[in-house]
Amino acid sequence: MSRISLLILCLFVLSSCITPKVYNELLDKHELAKKNLTKNEKKILQLKETLDDKEKNIESLNLLVQSLRLDSINLNNELFSIQKKYADLNTTYDLLSSKSSRYMAEKANETKELLNQLEKTQSELFAKEDELNKSTANLEEKERKLLSSQNELELRSLRVAELEAIINRKDSMVTALKQKISKALIGLEGDGLTIVQRNGKVYISLEEDLLFASGKYEVNQTGKQALDKLSEALSYQKDLEILVEGHTDSIPLSGRGLVKDNWDLSVMRATSVVKRLTSNTNLDPTQLIAAGRSEFVPLLANTSSEGRSKNRRIEMILSPNLDDLFKLLDE
């Protein structure tokens, strides 16, 4: 500022003795100097600000340097600690390595022994597995046979059930037939006539006196009436086989006429009964069979007159037709 004032004073002094042109030039220079001064002052202020920033940066850097020095000290301390720990670890490692060698040797022996045991156990396991496979195969075969047997048993059970049903049906038919015959011949039972149901059949026994004269084979009137009632009861019984047997006692015949012996008499009496029965056209002749048994199937001993009387008889055996039963058995 003193310089500016001095300059102004000089200009004032000079202005009194210089020309206007020079004076104006001096004024222009003065204005220019003022402008330059202002610019320089601004630059000085900027430099001061920059200097302040630099000083602050220097202070920050100093603080950073101090911090880095502290960090370096700490890192050195940590490095020392780590080196010490590393040394300790090396010592421990060496100790463990020594112990580990012994331990590994022991474990190697144990491992070898375990491997031997494992191989033995594995061999035994394979043997057991083979045995199990064989047992499984045998079991499967037995199961297959059992299943086959069960299926066969079920089929047989069904067949048995069918057989039982047929037999029950036949038994029911035989029972009903016996009742029907007993009802048809009511009044004759106990008077030379017996009707018995046995083994799924009906046995009708007619003594000689009820049908024939002694030594004769023609059916008498009482016998005809009984046989007619019987044929009526047997009518339409299509599932029935009728066996008519003639029986005699053991007394030989004289041998005169058509009847030579007891064989002839038994056969001819059975034939006469069949002929009388088939005189009923509702009774199918193909269902009847006439047979002579002579004296060889006695009911009682022929040593008494009573025994011989019982043995001279006609027996009729009524059997249900079992063709469907035999057909089922043949399947």
Residue-level pLDDT at 54: 87
Distances (CA, A) of 325 to 165, 171, 197, 292, 329: 10, 13, 20, 28, 6
**Does residue 78 or residue 248 have the better pLDDT?**
248
Token digits for 88?
Answer: 């300790």
Does the pLDDT of residue 99 top 90, yes or no?
no
pLDDT tens-digit readout, 50-80: 888 888 888 888 888 788 888 888 888 888 8
The stretch 134-163 carries a mean pLDDT of 86
- DSSP character string of 286-307: GGEEEEEEETSS-SS-TTSHHH
Read off the pLDDT band of 331 (50, 70, 90).
Answer: low
Distance between terminal CA atoms of the chain?
A: 150
**Does residue 60 or residue 167 have the better pLDDT?**
60
**Does residue 271 or residue 131 have the better pLDDT?**
271
* Rounded distance between C-alpha atoms, residue 75 and residue 239, angstroms: 124
**Domain spans in the chain, listed from the N-terminal domain onward:** 176-330
* Rounded distance between C-alpha atoms, residue 302 and residue 306, angstroms: 8
Which CATH fold would you assign to the domain 176-330?
60s Ribosomal Protein L30; Chain: A; (3.30.1330)
Global pTM value = 0.54
* Residues of the chain above pLDDT 90, percent: 35
Does the pLDDT of residue 286 top 60, yes or no?
yes
